[in-house]
Each structure stands twice: as C-alpha cells, then as structure tokens.
Amino acid sequence: MTSRDMTTLLLEQVQKATAHNMPVTIEGQGSKRFYGHTAAENTACLQISGHSGVIEYEPGELVIRVRAGTPLADVNQLLSSNRQMLAFEPPDFENRSTMGGVIASGLSGPRRPYAGSARDFVLGVRMITGHGEVLEFGGQVMKNVAGYDVSRLVTGSLGTLGLILDVSLKVLPEPEAEVTLGLPIARQELQSRLRSMQDMFPLSAAAHQDGVLYLRLSGSEAAIQSARQKTGGEETDSGFWQKLNTLACFSSAKELWRISVAPASQIFLKEAEVIDWGGGLRWLVDPGFDPREQLAGEDGHATLVKYAEAKLPAGVELFHPLPPHVLNLHQRLKQQFDPAGVFNPGRMYRAF
C-alpha cells in the first residue's frame, strides 16, 4: 500500500480555488461519478487519490485512521488480515472506491440496519474548508462530545462542505462465521416474516428479490446453527450481497430509484425490484413515474441514483427535496464552510 501525504499541495489548490472563486470537483478514483448531479463543464478536478495510506491502525484500539485517497479495497484487506472490518459495509464500486468518497457519500451496505451506518462509525476527520485551512474535528477515541460533531456532518455531504484529508473510523471484530440463506417467500408475506426475526441476533442482512428472501447470519458457529433452525432455507451464494451493494444487480436499469422508508412501510412493496435493509430500502427500476409524489405522506425519501442525463427534466433534483427551513439550514451551513461556493457546487442540491 502506498503512503503519501499531499496535504500541503491540496491546501494550495484549495486556496487557489477559493481566491479565484473557481469551483472544483473533488475526486478520488471517480467510482461514484454517477451519484449526484454532474458538475458544470468548466469545473476543475481536485484529485485526491494520490493522498493515500494508513496513518494509524492498532487493532486493539478498534480504530483505523486513513488518508482520503486510500483504496477501500486496501483498507478492507488490512482489516480482514486482523480479523476486523468496516461494519457499515461500504459499497466498493468498480473495485476502485477510495475512503474519501466512502465518507463523503456516506453510503452503507446491507449490514446497515444491524450494525449501523457510515456516520455511526466516523470518529474524526481532518479537512480543508473553504477558509483554506487544515482543521481537525473529532479524534481517534470512541466517545467525544467536545465541540459540534462536524465529522458526522461532513459524512454524506458529498464534498460540498470541504475536502476530507483523512478520517478515523471505529472498526469491529469480523464475525467468526457467516452464512447466506435463500428462502422462497412471496412478497406479500415478506414483512410478517421479517417481523418474526426482529430479535434474531446473528442476522446481518435481509433482502428480497424475485420471490426469494436472502438472509445473512453472522456470529459464532453455535449462534448460526441455532438461528438456522428457526429460519430454515438453503445455503446460497454470498456474492448476492456484493452485487446488491454495488448495484451490479441493476446493471440493465435505465432509471434506478433508491427509496428509504421505515421497514414496516407499505409503500412500493409490490413495485420494488429489490427490498433490502430488512424492509427499509426499496429499489425501483424504470418505474415510469416519479415515486416522490407517492412518498408525500410517508416518512422517507427517494434518490434518483441512475438516470439518462438527456431525459432528466431541467431543474429536477436527484436527491429528495428538503422542507424550506431545513434547506435554509443547509444553505447557511454551506455558506459558513464554503463561503466562495467552490466545493462540488450543485452536486447534492442545485441550490448549493
């Protein structure tokens, strides 16, 4: 694994961008170019993939600190060789996602409902804001309430608040054993079936596609055996989760909607191509309608993840529109972190 600290160079680039009000697109290996709005044509690219390497990793502390350009695959491999893992199971798109993008997108995999999300495991970040300074928030310890939680605010902000230099993450022990099971279950029976598993502890993923409920059990052999007696089902290919997490199972979709709702919600139960997160995440493929209209009465949100650029009506948002007061808070935070508006403008919402 290469290790290189490019802080000084990146700082100069940010200072130059802010001094001349020149917008930049922050990019590692570009594995998430499809996610969010495309940058305007004249936008310069601020490359962070060279800023890479593990700064600190002591398995006994359950903490890893890495530079933003470090490939996710390298981190996964290092952790795995110490029987540890990133428990939020970040997707590795095209096998070239980097840690900066993992945190900036804040995406979590199938383990999310059972282990927590990306932001749940973020302990601290070092970043460059639009004021052109290197700043550190949070740290490498598990509990820290000194100052506002800027590291978690930055997680999932799609690079709009600043450039992440490095991140400290809590890691967890890898489960001793893991098995993926397939159970033939009709969609209409899915929720009652999932509900009966609410207290099933080794459960680490539950998704439904094409009449099959996929379950992943993680834990000790004994725990898995005991849970299997309750679930039934046949052992099946664990590669299912990887395909789902990286959206490979939707490769033929022209338009892909990600709908996040409370697990017991009744919405799009029938229409969803895949239901993940034990019911909480529903994927709509080429629905032919805007699902956001139907979500109006629900506590949830929809993201247009894949789309044909040419078919996108002007002014449409990809992420769920925010209520006025909340949008206003976003704009005011953006103004504070990035007064010149140079970082990934419009990537998340057109207004900032």
Please state, in angstroms and rounded to a whole number, the distance separating the CA atoms of residues 113 and 75. Answer: 22
State which of residues 20, 143, 270, 311 lies at the interface with another protein (CB under 8 A).
Answer: 143
Of 68-97, binders to another protein (CB under 8 A) are: 83
User: 295 with 267: CB under 8 angstroms?
Assistant: yes
Considering the complex, what minimum distance in angstroms separates the CB of residue 200 from another protein?
Answer: 8
SS3 41: coil
Beta-carbon neighbour count of residue 317 at 10 Å? Answer: 15
172 touching another protein, by CB under 8 A: yes
178 touching another protein, by CB under 8 A: no
Please state, in angstroms and rounded to a whole number, the distance separating the CA atoms of residues 40 and 58. Answer: 42
Please state, in angstroms and rounded to a whole number, the distance separating the CA atoms of residues 254 and 272. Answer: 15
152 touching another protein, by CB under 8 A: yes
State which of residues 20, 41, 81, 145 lies at the interface with another protein (CB under 8 A).
Answer: 145
147 touching another protein, by CB under 8 A: yes
- The structure tokens 């310069």 sit at 44
Of 12-71, binders to another protein (CB under 8 A) are: 58-63
Give the range of 15-23, 172-180, 206-214, 232-240 binding another protein by CB under 8 A.
Answer: 172-180
Residue (97 or 260) nearer to another protein, CB: 260
150 touching another protein, by CB under 8 A: yes
State which of residues 189, 201, 254, 290 lies at the interface with another protein (CB under 8 A).
Answer: 201
DSSP 291-321: HHHHGGGSS-EEEEEE--GGGSPTT--SSPP
SS3 27: strand
Q: What are phi and psi of 214, to 5 degrees?
A: -95, 130
Instruction: Classify residue 100 as exposed, middle or buried by CB count within 10 Å of its CB (0-12, 13-18, 19+).
Output: buried
Smallest CA-to-CA distance from 337 within 322, 348, 321, 325 is with 348
Give the range of 12-20, 26-34, 237-245, 323-331 binding another protein by CB under 8 A.
Answer: 323-331
Give the range of 5-13, 16-24, 39-47, 320-328 binding another protein by CB under 8 A.
Answer: 320-328
316 touching another protein, by CB under 8 A: no
350 touching another protein, by CB under 8 A: no
Give the range of 5-13, 35-43, 88-96, 259-267 binding another protein by CB under 8 A.
Answer: 259-267
Residue (119 or 187) nearer to another protein, CB: 119
The count of residues interacting with another protein (CB under 8 A) is 84
232 touching another protein, by CB under 8 A: no
340 touching another protein, by CB under 8 A: no
Smallest CA-to-CA distance from 107 within 328, 260, 211 is with 260
Residue (71 or 276) nearer to another protein, CB: 276
SS3 193: helix
Residue (60 or 288) nearer to another protein, CB: 60
Cβ neighbours of residue 80 closer than 8 Å, sequence gap 6 or more: 174
